[in-house]
Amino acid sequence: MNHRLPPGTPGNGISRRRALGLASAVGLTPLAATACSPASQASSAGAGASGTTSSPPAAAPGRPPGRDPLTTDAQNRLVLLGTSGGPPWWNDSHREGVSSAVAVGDRYYLVDAGDGVGKQIKKAKLGTWTPDMRGPLDALVAVFLSHLHSDHISDLYNLLGTGLQNGVAIPDRVLEIFGPGNRGALPVSFRGEQIPADQVVNPRNPTPGTRETIEAMVKTFATDFNDRIIDSGYPPPRDFFTGRDIALPAELVDDPNGDPHPRMSPVDVFEDDRVKVTATLVQHAPVFPAFAFRFDTDTGSVTFSGDTGPSENLVELATGSDILVHEVIAAQWVAQRYPEPRDAAAEAEYQHLVGAHTTIEDVGDIAERAGVRTLVLNHLVPGNWPVEEWEKAGASFSGELVVGEDLDAIAIG
Ligand SMILES: [Zn+2]
């Protein structure tokens, strides 16, 4: 094991099992490691029991920032760029929006592009930094979007628009952005109701996919792109980046309002000389399609859940992975946020949160069944929840648990 544990502090987001395992690797004493893990003792008191009956954790104001990021010297590594679910920015949260990198040697690949992704690439020192504006995005090979919710794509334009001057614009290569295709039909509410016609945005194409979203983004920012072409001699952006819809078997996509999570085996998405990327559909209804991704490298593999409720497709995709990066939501917060009785809007949001996300009580079992070595929690909702609450996920997982912090770097394999 070659990622290093920063100086231990109470509630530092690393389970006792992990802390003890790392202690021998870095020369910490078991006593010091044990002091790092108060929540692992709490977890034995029944984290899997109802999370809705005990009094809620204290609110976040004044909460100190999280522990120092994990570091590694490994060439192949997972880097968490942002660990907060959204779209809220969360009062007093130190976490940026969700985005992760898989770095393989001197290149890297992104999963999602949430709020702050550019700033976090800079802090993580990914890619090359030279005075001639070739980096750091010259080392970025491809972007994989789990779905098109705003908290996963809100800084995509930043990456591509300002990216032209930060390494995206390289002759003879096209940065590919992979993601879901056009849904094909508007979703219906959990009660089976259609959205009123006068409230539909862009009724001629209300559910564009990844390719169309990138094309529309270029049109939206045409003033700037044209200025760069005329004033600075850049070729058009289509020469530098393009959106690609992930292809799925027709029988899985012909009824987007049917089963939003049909059982399937992984499909191939991308392969080069460093990674092979496969994907599967996950349960984020009414969002469809919504993807999980698996990256296989020479040294090991890492799977990203995307946004999902418990998913058998995901378990199949992740089986045998070294690392599972899984989203998680605090059921206690959901119940607190949407108390009964709920009006129609509150009920809709409540149903989405409990049905299309995975709770602290459930996520450990998923990782256990997939047989992964390390479970990394990210897309934390809410983004300002106490770390000791997230650590309770370790109650049903026998491997290493990492409550992700922004800029954590973890060796793959
Ligand atoms: Zn999300």
Domains of the chain: 3-47+67-185+204-411 (3.60.15.10)
Q: Alpha-carbon distance 266 to 269, whole Å?
A: 9
**Local structure of 4: helix, strand or coil:** strand
Kindly tell me the burial class for residue 269, based on how many C-beta atoms sit within 10 Å of its own C-beta (0-12, 13-18, 19 or more): buried
CA of 115 to the centre of ligand 1 (A): 11
Q: What tokens were used for 92? A: 């007093």
Beta bridge partners of 325: 304, 376
Say what the pLDDT of residue 128 is.
84
Q: Alpha-carbon distance 388 to 116, whole Å?
A: 25
CA of 26 to the centre of ligand 1 (A): 35
Q: What is the CA radius of gyration of the chain?
A: 21
Kindly tell me the burial class for residue 190, based on how many C-beta atoms sit within 10 Å of its own C-beta (0-12, 13-18, 19 or more): middle
Kindly tell me the burial class for residue 45, based on how many C-beta atoms sit within 10 Å of its own C-beta (0-12, 13-18, 19 or more): exposed
Digit-coded pLDDT (tens) for 84-140: 998 999 988 999 999 999 999 999 999 999 999 999 999 999 998 877 667 789 999
**Local structure of 291: helix, strand or coil:** strand
CA of 152 to the centre of ligand 1 (A): 6
Kindly tell me the burial class for residue 247, based on how many C-beta atoms sit within 10 Å of its own C-beta (0-12, 13-18, 19 or more): exposed
CA of 193 to the centre of ligand 1 (A): 23
Q: What is the average pLDDT value for the chain, to the nearest integer?
A: 84
CA of 308 to the centre of ligand 1 (A): 9
C-alpha distances in Å from residue 121, one per residue of 114, 235, 277, 402: 12, 25, 21, 21
For residue 274, give every residue at least 6 positions away whose Cβ sits within 8 Å of its Cβ, in sequence order, or none. 104, 105, 107, 141, 297, 298
Q: Alpha-carbon distance 152 to 82, whole Å?
A: 10
Q: What tokens were used for 359? A: 């709770």
| Residue that is written with structure tokens 């092979």 in the block | 276
**Pick from 154, 211, 201: which is nearest to 177 by CA?**
211
**Local structure of 325: helix, strand or coil:** strand
CA of 306 to the centre of ligand 1 (A): 8
CA of 34 to the centre of ligand 1 (A): 33
**Pick from 296, 250, 251, 242: which is nearest to 269 by CA?**
296
Residues of the chain with pLDDT under 50: 1-56, 58-62
Exposure string of 362-378, with b = 16+ CB inside 10 Å and e = fewer, is bbbbbbebbebebbbbb
CA of 158 to the centre of ligand 1 (A): 18
C-alpha distances in Å from residue 282, one per residue of 146, 201, 292, 349: 9, 25, 6, 19
Say what the pLDDT of residue 320 is.
94
**Pick from 105, 119, 75, 147: which is nearest to 407 by CA?**
119
Query: Do 365 and 73 form a contact (C-beta atoms < 8 A)?
Result: no
C-alpha distances in Å from residue 297, one per residue of 107, 109, 301, 321: 12, 12, 6, 11
Say what the pLDDT of residue 380 is.
97
CA of 382 to the centre of ligand 1 (A): 11
Q: What tokens were used for 218? A: 């270029």
**Local structure of 123: helix, strand or coil:** helix
